[in-house]
Homo-oligomer: A and B are copies of this chain.
Amino acid sequence: MQKNKNGIEKGVLLPRPSSNETQFFDEEWSDEDFKNIIRKLNLKVTPQRMIILNCLHKNRKHITAQELFEKVQKLNEDIGFATVYRFLKDLALGHAVTEVRMGGMPARYELTPKKHHDHMTCTECGRIVEFQNKSIEQHQEKVAEQFGFKLTHHVLELYGICPSCQTHE
């Protein structure tokens, strides 16, 4: 993957339901990966959970529990929505999915990527750019060290106006 002088890796451009241009990193996940995720949480592998994880992976990122439930139902009419909620909660507890909450909106979930990335969101159009930046993470480690903390994870969300919204207004 290309890298620029600032150490930023650019995400690939994936198609998306909305008209907003959105840059996402793509990743491969196998059924074996999903089974390992479930077992690592000390949970049982069930067809429901496999379907839920597959839907999480195949559909748009940052999906709500309700949206995910609807996708899942198309594959198996009999899966209840309590199952989806419950499993998402378990996954979030074990950091297998990342939960993002904005305002009073329902929570949105995405499979925690193998390669960590952060988000930059356009507050005008909602376009999301994923990025990686080693320097920022090194400085985070320094902060933690300074206070004697052992870092486990972080959330970094940048907000601003994207190029196209700066132009069109």
Asked if B4 and A146 sit within 8 Å, CB to CB, the answer is yes
A149 surroundings in chain B (CB, below 8 A): 120, 122, 129, 158, 160-163
Determine whether A131 belongs to the interface, using a CB cutoff of 8 Å to chain B. yes
The CA of A151 and the CA of B156, in the complex, are separated in Å by 13
A140 closest partner in B (C-beta): B158
Determine whether A150 belongs to the interface, using a CB cutoff of 8 Å to chain B. yes
Contact of A157 among B120, B142, B154 (CB under 8 A): B154
The CA of A149 and the CA of B159, in the complex, are separated in Å by 9
Asked if A129 and B153 sit within 8 Å, CB to CB, the answer is no
| Minimal beta-carbon separation of A44 from chain B (angstroms) | 24
Asked if B147 and A120 sit within 8 Å, CB to CB, the answer is yes
A92 surroundings in chain B (CB, below 8 A): 103
In the complex with contacts A123-B152, A139-B139, A140-B136, A147-B131 CB distance below 8 A? yes
Asked if B154 and A155 sit within 8 Å, CB to CB, the answer is no
A159 surroundings in chain B (CB, below 8 A): 151-155
The CA of A8 and the CA of B148, in the complex, are separated in Å by 13
Contact of A136 among B136, B150, B161 (CB under 8 A): B136
Contact of A101 among B101, B122, B166 (CB under 8 A): B101
